[in-house]
Amino acid sequence: MMKIRNWSSFTLITAVIVGVLVFVLAQVYSASGGQLGAGFWFRTYPGLIVALASGFFGATFSMLLHTQRRTSEGTLEDLSSACSWRTLIVRGSVGLGGAAILYFFFRSGLLEGNLWPDLSLLAYEPLASSSSNGLVPNQQWCLLVIWCFLGGFSETLVPNILTKTEQKATIS
């Protein structure tokens, strides 16, 4: 029985580490102005890599919290099924999908206002208090990361946005 629990923990920790690494690599790629992969089709959609990585990271963070709750409340079998590779792949894919849908909502202009990122304004700014050449993401990047993280983390955010958009489309 202990072997199953250790394997499940290892699987979940691996997924979280991969999520963090993908997120960091996406930030490095974006900060380089896409020069690391000039032929990449992602250059057509600025911020898409960061959006997808944020959604995946949100999904893995959500899985980590659910596993923590199940450890204290559930049985070993519940924990084992929650940390299976299939579950991790499906939940990670849902996080990627939710982030992608949000990204294209932002790109289309259907979600506009101060709360939503304007993808045409994505940029990195120099550090104000530093004499080095360091760059930090601007407000639009931060909004994109936050919303796509939430899109991957929350299982209801994207379906609610889709439902409200559908209702607006049928009324119009």
Task: Give the pLDDT confidence score for residue 172 in this predicted structure.
Answer: 63
Contacting residues for 143 by C-beta, under 8 A, at least 6 apart:
115, 116, 117
Q: What is the pLDDT along the chain (172 residues), one digit of tens a residue?
A: 444 444 556 666 677 777 777 766 666 666 555 554 444 445 567 788 889 889 988 998 888 887 777 666 666 666 666 666 777 778 888 898 899 899 989 988 888 788 999 988 988 888 777 666 777 888 999 999 999 999 999 988 888 888 888 888 887 6
Task: Give the pLDDT confidence score for residue 130 in this predicted structure.
Answer: 60
DSSP 101-157: HHHHHHHHTSS-STTS--GGG--EEE-TT-SS--EEE-HHHHHHHHHHHHHHH-SSH
**Phi, psi (degrees; rounded to nearest 5) at 137:** -65, 145
Total of domains in the chain: 1
Range of the domain at 146: 2-171
